[in-house]
């Protein structure tokens, strides 16, 4: 039985996992890099162990140090979160060998699904539809060109070991083939240490729809319905929702059954996601499986009413699933947006820095999974995601209104964030009507541009606020005590000074 | 006493006519405002004008006279221009050197420097690659240029706005 | 149609109402007293109007000023929240006369249900069971004694105009009758301006269970199931949950039908609550009707999936209810706790003051309805409630665990709060087992006492934190710039100073 | 250098043995601690001891040497006792006057004063009634006393810990 969980991650997901552990009476261990000493997961955990310098390769990716930390603190299980070591079969194997429960699937499932080409073959064997393309990894450019000419342009080049848009290139014109392949390979090499790529037919105007699945160690697998993730910028999801606005009950049932079949094909246990590419006629193809918790898992939690992290822990404990497929249903509508520390009006340039002020959205139907706080410095070494805002309402229309209301109340200063950009997405007619695919962002470029909605009065008020702040500071300086007083009453003086915020 | 204020690219004259507690009478250019202004949190102001409730957040910019001002969904650069600022602005105009510096707008790590001092670079070529938050950004030149000085080396950590390369 | 709503209230409920308005695209107007200039509802609203000095009688209870503010800002509806003017029939009538929509029931329903004795008579006529007691207001002590002797001790003396525990006295012994009646009457006079009281048989070990109802202007009334509110301290609710742990489906259906009958007896429209007193054998009696939104309405919203404020607005707009009784069902379990600015270890002494630091609980299944922020001063003039923490989970056991987790992460400094006390409640066996009635708090006095769980190490750590803070301050003072520097570089100096927090 | 520290009623001697960045070696009475101490937010400390993560919040008390320290579910009064504090404590002992003052522990409004200066009050009788946050609190004497001085009047607003009545 799991008594103490080390969370081999940082940021919001580390805190989110620890929350469920705490509800289950399970102790938690944080691991952290030098720059993360003040990070929320260190503060939230029962125990905390420093595992190295800031770069992930020297800390959060150091399997040996993480396992050492688990032993040191007596943690008998490790939850990998998402990213970092979450889809690393070797790490899962090392845990197994050390007698530590890896809260995730078997190394075999990670390996099989982690390699895109093996995964394709396995899916074909299991009768799950896949996108036309290569079944072998491409290691040289010559073969790549031959294959592409055979499949026909446009094609997508993808890293075999990849995920999250890294090492991915779309090729539409013959003259771009070489640069795209070498770009994808070097990116894949840098990100995953493996430059093998594969090639797939590119499906134009595709929807990205994924199915959450849960499997136990007794061979039971259920799906928890779909998530619509087509709002993407450079292959990174920006908005996710469930149910998908284009889904029908019939297709949902079919896709769900295929998702379960896909998981069963690798004897999957734990939480996982089957990603499908779907065309406008609801033809769907297996894209890949993520053998871990997804960033966007909370929308499923809200609509299905299941705590996925708790389920992961129950499964890791060897318990059978507490529900059957027919026990699960979707209720209402949930949407998640990801808040990034980036400047949407300046080519989404990352914006690390110190959080000067934060006010989080609250109230009915709003869940906010974050980890930053006032005075926290968002480090430049890791993913710039600040938090996830998840809303639920009875209907999609109401959920969009609620999300706008929550974004209205969500204030962060000190770093630039994607909040204004997310608000603009919610006002694009194609989004409101639920008629969008993965080209949504590029097709709605004009709608998503920054608009100056500020009237003359609004600008005047902005100027006046700064002006009043400035003259108030000046005033305070003039009532400053003289030098003589300074010696005796440094306390009062300090008080006055701390109000100045100069 | 009146001040000059720059809001993005708009120059305005602003004058405090009177103040009593949180009640301010202010003239900005030709607009007269009666306002109730309260600092509710550190740098966060609640402003009432003709019963309308505005919320404004200030973040101090480069110095105590420059601000980033956030209104509902907009952000403005506001600068209070006093004698000292005017002097500095004039001096900067004469100098003009800062146009020829490649700086990283955000903190990061220098991944690659593709040229050395004295090299000629073509328009559009990348000079420096900086990595921050799992993303690599390439810094290019817009016109044909010559590398005058390189102030950083590969592996260096740079701060926001730190000059990296001086070009001619 | 309602276009702009003035919220005649303050604190969390004002903000909560405005949130739903914002989601509906309805503008909002805040009214505020002098001490509330910086209160969150003023910041959140589109418009804000000052209506007078701090005491409620000179601001939030000034019907004339509130109506004037509505006219000034063009608000065509007023939402009264709870407390203040929410159950004031005259105010509802004044709104009507001025052509302003009062978002609440008819003045007739407020009057009938607001007077406890008329309400009793109306319920008896409608066939709803009531507690044995007087049907006429008692205006003198002599009559009171006669009545009490007839009903038999113990009895409860209650203010006719009352609510919220004000002007209420339990009498067990004959010799206490006179002091109890005069006490109740003077408290009633002070609180409601009316010293009429009535007398009811006291039911020992009672449960307080209430039913949420919604009625439209077309004669439709539905109930949204029960809320269990038996955890009370001095007749003030402390913890509320739904479903009630003692409820059975049969009794729920019967009580629900009686709640609907009670509302229909006064042609009720809007949101309202029928409070019942329930004995251990699930015999139940009508206690009173609250003709407004309740503090604890969010637990119903969560379990039934309905936004009650939006429903109030739809009803006020004359729309028919969008659902029938059979469309509504309970899903999962929700618990609310009220966080007060009070010192639970010092006789619950109110603790007004400035919020120095706040960290709000977040994550899966947690709703937090508050209004305070860092630097906000909780005024001494109003109710000391800071916020409401609402959790939801699939089961009651999980909901309790989640609530503990949320309380663990909820940090406020600057004022004392009831958070540690609430945590202790959740650890009392009778609460965990769902076996409790309104005597819960007094019967579990020992369990609820402050315990020192801090080990020697924990005390050492507390002392060390203070010590380190102190010596760090001392150090900073020693690197203080000299006087000469002060003149030139006041900016840097101020920066250093502002870190000191002396 | 070592300091005396009072934690609730416990007196301890505390000494900083060494410090390097966030790493502190501290001796408190006979317990030796190696700690990693970081101030994460204003007045909020994260403290690691033998990999255990503690969170402590400080609120300054009456002066810069006294604190209310919040641990998970407990609050402690901590006072750093230096020479100045010792002097004040000794003086207060000699004086003893503050035992005879009725103060309101919280801000509020004086609703009623039931006696006047020179009156004799019986044990348990209420002297002053203060209202705050919709509640009225009665301040009584525990023994028979005489009212020496009344420092407030009905309707006055009082601050926390403000003396209201001096008794003999």
Contact C38 B48 (CB under 8 A): no
How many whole angstroms separate alpha carbon D149 and alpha carbon C14?
44
Task: Select from C38, C45, C73 the Cβ nearest to the Cβ of B38.
Answer: C38
How far from the centroid of its chain's Cα atoms is residue B111's Cα? 25
pLDDT computed for residue A175 by the predictor: 87
Total CB pairs under 8 A between chain C and D: 141
B134 phi-psi bin (left φ>0, alpha ψ -120 to 50, beta other)? left
Whether residues A408 and C298 touch (CB distance < 8 A) is answered with no
Q: What is the pLDDT of residue D132?
A: 77
Tokens read off for C365:
């299944």
CA atoms lying within 13 Å on the CB side of residue A126 = 22
Could you give the residue numbers annotated as active site of A? 292
Q: Does the distance separating the beta carbons of A452 and B160 come in below 8 Å?
A: no
- How many CA atoms within 13 Å lie on the side-chain side of A93? 8
Q: Are D70 and D59 in contact (CB under 8 A)?
A: yes
Q: Is C433 exposed, middle or buried (0-12, 13-18, 19+ CB in 10 A)?
A: exposed
pLDDT value at position A477?
66
Rounded mean pLDDT, B118-134:
83
B94 pLDDT higher than 60? no
Q: How far apart are CA A224 and CA A101, in angstroms?
A: 24
Q: Which residues of chain C lie closer than 8 angstroms to A15, CB-CB? A: 363
* CA A209 – CA A228 distance, rounded (Å): 5
Which residues are within 8 A (CB) of D10 and not within 5 positions of it... i.e. 6 or more apart?
Answer: C459
- Alpha-carbon distance of B33 to B15, in angstroms, equals 10
Mean of the per-residue pLDDT values of chain D? 84
Q: How confident is the model at residue D98 (pLDDT cuts 50, 70, 90)?
A: very low
Enclosing H/E stretch for C408? helix C396-409
Q: What are phi and psi of C178, to 5 degrees?
A: -65, -50
Q: What pLDDT shows up at residue A486?
A: 36
Q: Are strands C77-79 and C4-7 parallel, antiparallel or unpaired?
A: parallel
Nearest to A30 among D53, D55, D63 (CB): D53
Q: Between B72, B73, B133, which is nearest A383 by CB?
A: B133
- Contact state of B55 with C376 under an 8 Å Cβ cutoff: no
| Structure tokens belonging to residue A379 | 């480090």
Residue A301, pLDDT score: 98
Residue A184, pLDDT above cutoff 90: no
pLDDT of C215 above 80? yes
Q: Tell me if chain C has a CB within 8 Å of the CB of B52.
A: yes
Quick: pLDDT tens for A110-159. 999 998 889 989 999 999 999 888 877 887 888 888 888 888 888 988 88
How many Å apart are CA D98 and CA C105, to the nearest integer? 55
Helix axes A297-304, A308-316, angle to 10 degrees: 90
Q: What is the nearest CA distance from A7 to chain D, expressed in angstroms? A: 14
Active-site amino acid positions of C: 292
H or E element at residue C385: strand C385-393
pLDDT at C487 over 50: no
Work out the average pLDDT over D115-130: 86
**Residue in C46, C49, C375 nearest the CB of B41:** C375
* E-strand stretches of A191-264: 197-201, 207-215, 221-233, 236-242
Work out the number of other CB atoms within 10 angstroms of the CB of residue C110. 27
Confidence band of A313 (pLDDT split at 50, 70, 90) = very high
Q: Which residue has the higher pLDDT, A280 or C127?
A: C127
Per-residue confidence (pLDDT) for residue A485, from 0 to 100: 35
pLDDT bucket at A326, cuts 50 / 70 / 90: very high
Q: Lowest-pLDDT range, A30-34, A465-469, B67-71?
A: B67-71
Band the pLDDT of B90: cuts 50, 70, 90.
low
Q: Which of A163-177, A197-211, B13-27, C293-307 is predicted least confidently? A: A163-177
Per-residue pLDDT, averaged over A369-391, amounts to: 94
- The percentage of residues in chain A with a pLDDT greater than 90, rounded to a whole number, is 70
Q: How confident is the model at residue B42 (pLDDT cuts 50, 70, 90)?
A: confident
Q: Do B24 and A460 touch (CB under 8 A)?
A: no
Q: Which residues contact D61 (CB under 8 A, 6 or more apart)?
A: D67, D68, D77, D79
Strands (E), A8-136: 27-33, 47-52, 77-79, 101-102
Within 8 A of A472 by CB-CB distance, chain B residues are 39
Q: Which residues pair with A410 in a beta bridge?
A: none
**Preceding amide of A154 cis, omega within 30:** yes
Least reliable range by pLDDT among A162-171, A255-264, B42-51: A162-171
Is residue C10 within 8 A of residue C41, CB to CB? The reply is yes
**Residue whose structure tokens are 């004959």:** C174
| A501 pLDDT tier (thresholds 50, 70, 90) | very low
Strands A27-33, A4-7: pairing kind: parallel
Average pLDDT over residues A169-197: 86
Q: Which band of pLDDT confidence, cut at 50, 70 and 90, is reported for residue C478?
A: low
Q: Tell me: the pLDDT tens digits for C49-98?
A: 999 999 999 999 999 999 999 999 999 999 999 999 999 999 999 999 99
Q: Name the 3-class secondary structure at C18.
A: helix
Contact C90, C104 (CB under 8 A): no
CB contact under 8 A, A394 and C305: yes
**Tell me: the pLDDT tens digits for C409-439?**
999 988 999 999 999 999 999 999 999 999 9
pLDDT at A237 over 90: yes
* ipTM of model: 0.83
Q: What average pLDDT does this structure show over C270-292?
A: 95
Q: D3 CA to chain C: closest CA distance, Å?
A: 9
Rounded Cα–Cα distance for residues A147 and A134 (Å): 7
C387 DSSP β-pair partners: C339, C370
Mean pLDDT of C160-169: 76
Q: Mean pLDDT lowest for which of A291-300, B62-71, C92-101?
A: B62-71
| pLDDT surpasses 70 at B141 | yes
Q: Tell me what pLDDT residue B107 has.
A: 78
Chains that touch D (3 or more CB pairs under 8 A): A, C
Band of residue A484 on the pLDDT scale cut at 50, 70, 90: very low
Res C484 pLDDT > 70: no
Q: Token pair for residue A260?
A: 């379960």
Burial readout B82-98 (b: 16 or more C-beta within 10 A, e: otherwise)? eeebeeeeeeeeeeeee
**Burial bucket for residue A86 (CB in 10 Å: 0-12, 13-18, 19+):** buried
| CB-based contact, D72 to chain A, within 8 Å | no
pLDDT tens figures, A85-106: 999 999 999 999 999 999 999 9
Residue with more model confidence, D96 or D109? D109
**Alpha-carbon distances of D132 from A41, A189, C168, D157, rounded to whole Å:** 39, 67, 20, 10
Distance CA A275, CA A277 (A): 7
């Amino acid at each position: 039985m799991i008594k103490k969980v080390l969370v081999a991650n940082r940021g919001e997901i580390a805190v989110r996992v620890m929350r469920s552990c705490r509800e289950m009476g399970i102790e938690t261990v944080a691991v952290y890099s030098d720059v993360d000493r003040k990070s929320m997961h260190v503060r939230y955990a029962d125990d905390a162990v420093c595992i190295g310098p800031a770069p992930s390769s020297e800390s959060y990716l150091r399997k040996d140090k993480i396992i050492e930390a688990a032993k040191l603190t007596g943690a008998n299980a490790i939850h990998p979160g998402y990213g970092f070591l979450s889809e690393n079969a070797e790490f899962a194997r090392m845990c197994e060998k050390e007698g530590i429960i890896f809260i995730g699937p078997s190394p075999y499932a990670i390996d099989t699904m982690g390699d895109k080409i093996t995964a394709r073959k396995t899916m074909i064997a299991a009768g799950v539809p896949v996108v036309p393309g290569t079944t072998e990894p491409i290691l040289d450019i010559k073969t790549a060109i031959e294959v592409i000419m055979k499949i026909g342009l446009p094609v997508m080049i993808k890293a075999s070991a990849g995920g999250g848009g890294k090492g991915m290139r779309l090729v539409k014109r013959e003259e771009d083939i070489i640069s795209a392949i070498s770009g994808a390979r070097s990116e894949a090499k840098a990100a995953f240490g493996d430059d093998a790529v594969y090639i797939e037919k590119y499906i134009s105007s595709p929807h990205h729809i994924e199915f959450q699945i849960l499997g136990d160690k007794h061979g039971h697998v259920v799906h928890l319905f779909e998530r619509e993730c087509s709002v993407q910028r450079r292959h990174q999801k920006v908005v996710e929702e469930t149910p998908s606005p284009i889904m029908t009950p019939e297709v949902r049932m079919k896709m769900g059954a295929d998702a379960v079949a896909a998981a069963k094909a690798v004897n999957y246990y734990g939480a996982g996601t089957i990603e499908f590419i779907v065309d406008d006629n609801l033809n769907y193809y297996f894209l890949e499986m993520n053998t871990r918790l997804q960033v966007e898992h909370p929308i499923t939690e809200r609509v299905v009413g299941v705590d996925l992290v708790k389920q992961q822990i129950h499964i890791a404990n060897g318990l059978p699933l507490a529900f059957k497929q027919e026990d699960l249903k979707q209720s209402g509508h949930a949407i998640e947006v990801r808040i990034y520390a980036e400047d949407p009006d300046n080519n989404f340039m990352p914006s690390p820095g110190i959080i000067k002020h934060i006010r989080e959205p609250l109230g009915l139907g709003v869940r906010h999974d974050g980890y930053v706080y006032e005075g926290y410095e968002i480090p430049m070494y890791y993913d710039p995601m600040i938090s996830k805002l998840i809303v639920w309402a009875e209907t999609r229309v109401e959920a969009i209104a609620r999300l706008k209301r929550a974004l209205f109340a969500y204030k962060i200063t000190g770093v630039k964030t994607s909040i204004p950009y997310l608000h603009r997405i919610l006002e694009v007619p194609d989004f409101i009507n639920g008629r969008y695919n993965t080209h949504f962002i590029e097709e709605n470029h004009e709608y998503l541009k920054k608009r100056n909605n500020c009237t003359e009065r609004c600008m005047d008020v902005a100027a006046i606020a700064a002006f009043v702040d400035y003259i108030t500071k000046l005033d305070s300086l003039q009532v400053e005590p003289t030098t003589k007083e300074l010696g005796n009453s440094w306390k009062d003086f300090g008080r006055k000074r701390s109000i100045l915020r100069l | 006493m009146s001040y000059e204020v720059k809001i993005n690219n708009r120059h305005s004259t602003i004058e405090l006519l009177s103040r009593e507690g949180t009640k301010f009478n202010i003239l900005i250019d030709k607009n007269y405002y009666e306002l109730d202004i309260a600092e509710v949190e550190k740098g966060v102001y609640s402003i009432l004008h003709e019963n309308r409730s505005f919320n404004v957040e200030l973040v101090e910019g480069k110095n105590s006279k420059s601000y980033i001002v956030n209104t509902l969904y907009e952000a403005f650069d506001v600068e209070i221009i006093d004698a000292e600022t005017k002097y500095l602005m004039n001096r900067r105009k004469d100098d003009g050197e800062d146009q020829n510096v490649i700086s990283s707008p955000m903190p990061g790590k220098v991944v690659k420097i593709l040229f050395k001092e004295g090299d000629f670079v073509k328009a559009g070529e990348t000079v420096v690659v900086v990595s921050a938050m799992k993303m690599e950004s390439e810094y290019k030149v817009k016109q044909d240029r010559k590398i005058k000085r390189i102030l950083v080396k590969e592996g260096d950590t740079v701060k926001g706005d730190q000059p990296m390369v001086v070009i001619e």
